[in-house]
Amino acid sequence: MRTVKVFDTTLRDGEQTPGISFPLSYKIQIAKQLDKLGVDIIEAGFPAATQGEFDAVKEIASLGLDSKVCGLARLVKHDIDRAIQADVDMVHIFISTSKIQIEHTVKKSREEIVEMAVEGVEYIKSHGVECMFSAMDATRTEVEYLKTIYKAVEEAGVDIVNVPDTVGVATPFTMYELIRELREHLKVPIDVHCHNDFGLAVANTYAAVKAGADEVQVTVNGIGERAGNASLAEVVMLITAVEGLKTNIKTEYLVETARLVERLSGIKLPPNTPIVGENAFSHESGIHAHGVLSEAATFEPGLITPEMVGHRRRIVIGKHAGRHQIKKMLEDAGYAVSEDILTKIVEKVKELGDKGKKVTDLDVITLAEVLMGEVRKEERAIILDEATVLTGNRITPTAVINAEVDGKKRVTSAIGVGPVDAALKAVAELVGKSIRITEFRMDAITGGSDALAEVYVTVEDEDGRSFTARGAGADIVMASIDAVINAVNYLMKMRKNR
């Protein structure tokens, strides 16, 4: 089976995202995660840019990863030397080849550019290091000139050539034709690097692979300059699950990797992000949920499962929910309701939804308890005794929680970036770090400085089971604590019932 290699540039092009600058400790975490994921080549940075960048690339190169480590360099001897001194496995050199970039940036003749490229490749290879050559802005470069410069570096001994869609103007059709033509002209492996200015980075990368590209350049979560790069998860699952080709990526770590980069970059993934987003395998519509509960492939692609990418399936309660999913959720929480009561619950859920209310799992259970006449407060696993939160301009926000957990007194404490964050971490500590708060939202119910706040949370356990709940009050910290404890109580009850 044909294998497509994966070249990840999260630490180089991904870090060029406006507002992102990874410290060394973050870069090492990301590099180790990419190695765990099975990435073939990690572009660790641009060693000549700063001393810190050089140190980071050299440190990553010394980690003994299975992935090869690459450093970027302009076609300048100093840049190339710095990359080689950083002990990388591969040096990635580039120079502009499009008419507009040659005229306004390089300001050399086309013949001189070819000579520079050949000399750069020969210099790198004389040091016993692998070399990748990029014709920058390739998709706006005349095809005949591209063939000329790529053939020249191929004859000079380059290991792989990269075809970058530097400003994201290619379409899948033009990319396919370009790679097909280059593939017929060259023997050396071809790599592609696509930007997302028109939302086509993944599609263009896929088209390039269809046309014969041997390697794809991607970033985790598609981060990168301007609108970003091709997303690693989307490209990998498209060419493996849809196209049936092979990569060395261990796909079960895709969500784990996405969440790490999301946290370290500070760029939150939209819930509807394909493959790794919170809603990628979530269903609210009654028709969809009913089908998925019977056979997942009815309303999911079928070519991939949540488990394949390290995700989990969620059945969400909302105004579009149907009887089957509400009944299933109640059964998981230990409630056997009659058909008449189920009808009333479904009607109330839809009524709340029509009013614009976010319906939580706890709301459904509360409705069931009221209609069944059996409120089960005594079944709570966690009973809060006291919560103390300290904060101030010279105090690290700290929370201390006193509570009864399964009949035993417990005291936990935690620090956070703010009082709410500290309080929620302290609550999570009550039941172990396996509990994760995946969603937190707060709305003001009334106006003024004494406004009532309504907090919505989603809590998930280590098995991927989740539960949504709410809390309300003038004290946003206590409302947040109440919401999380409500969610955790029922999540633990669901775990016991299972």
Summarize pLDDT for 19-55 with one digit per residue, the tens: 899 999 999 999 999 999 999 999 999 999 999 999 9
pLDDT for residue 373 is more than 50:
yes
Statement to judge: residues 198 and 87 lie in one domain: yes
Statement to judge: residues 151 and 196 lie in one domain: yes
- 197, part of any domain: yes
pLDDT: which is higher, 325 or 48: 48
- 420, part of any domain: yes
- 276, part of any domain: no
- 290, part of any domain: yes
Statement to judge: residues 18 and 143 lie in one domain: yes
**Residue 403: domain span:** 380-497
Number of structural domains the chain divides into: 3
**Banded pLDDT at 156 (limits 50, 70, 90):** very high
Statement to judge: residues 367 and 384 lie in one domain: no
- 270, part of any domain: no
Statement to judge: residues 258 and 356 lie in one domain: no
**Banded pLDDT at 291 (limits 50, 70, 90):** low
Statement to judge: residues 136 and 252 lie in one domain: yes
Statement to judge: residues 220 and 261 lie in one domain: yes
- 222, part of any domain: yes
pLDDT at 363: 77
- 472, part of any domain: yes
**Banded pLDDT at 425 (limits 50, 70, 90):** confident
- 274, part of any domain: no
Give this prediction's pTM: 0.77
Q: Tell me, what CATH number does 250's domain have?
A: 3.20.20.70
pLDDT: which is higher, 321 or 6: 6
Please say which residue of 375, 391, 425 terminates a domain.
Answer: 375
pLDDT for residue 289 is more than 50:
no
3-state SS record for the chain: CCECEEEECCCCCHHHCCCCCCCHHHHHHHHHHHHHHCCCEEEEECCCCCHHHHHHHHHHHCCCCCCEEEEEEECCHHHHHHHHHCCCCEEEEEEECCHHHHHHHHCCCHHHHHHHHHHHHHHHHCCCCEEEEEEECHHHCCHHHHHHHHHHHHHCCCCEEEEEECCCCCCHHHHHHHHHHHHHHCCCCEEEEEECCCCCHHHHHHHHHHCCCCEEEEEHHHCCCCCCECEHHHHHHHHHHHCCCECCCCHHHHHHHHHHHHHHHCCCCCCCCCCCCCCCCEECCHHHHHHHHHCHHHCCCCCCCHHHHCCCCEECCCCCCCHHHHHHHHHHCCCCCCHHHHHHHHHHHHHHHHCCCCCCHHHHHHHHHHHHCCCCHHHCCEEEEEEEEEEECCEEEEEEEEEEECCEEEEEEEECCCHHHHHHHHHHHHCCCCCEEEEEEEEECCCCCCCCEEEEEEEECCCCCEEEEEEEECCHHHHHHHHHHHHHHHHHHHHHHC
**Banded pLDDT at 419 (limits 50, 70, 90):** confident
Statement to judge: residues 470 and 360 lie in one domain: no
pLDDT for residue 290 is more than 70:
no
Statement to judge: residues 442 and 393 lie in one domain: yes
Statement to judge: residues 365 and 392 lie in one domain: no
pLDDT at 447: 60
Statement to judge: residues 158 and 130 lie in one domain: yes
Please say which residue of 344, 359, 375 terminates a domain.
Answer: 375
Give the mean pLDDT of 72-92: 97
Give the mean pLDDT of 387-400: 87
pLDDT: which is higher, 95 or 375: 95
Please say which residue of 341, 375, 409 terminates a domain.
Answer: 375
Statement to judge: residues 46 and 144 lie in one domain: yes
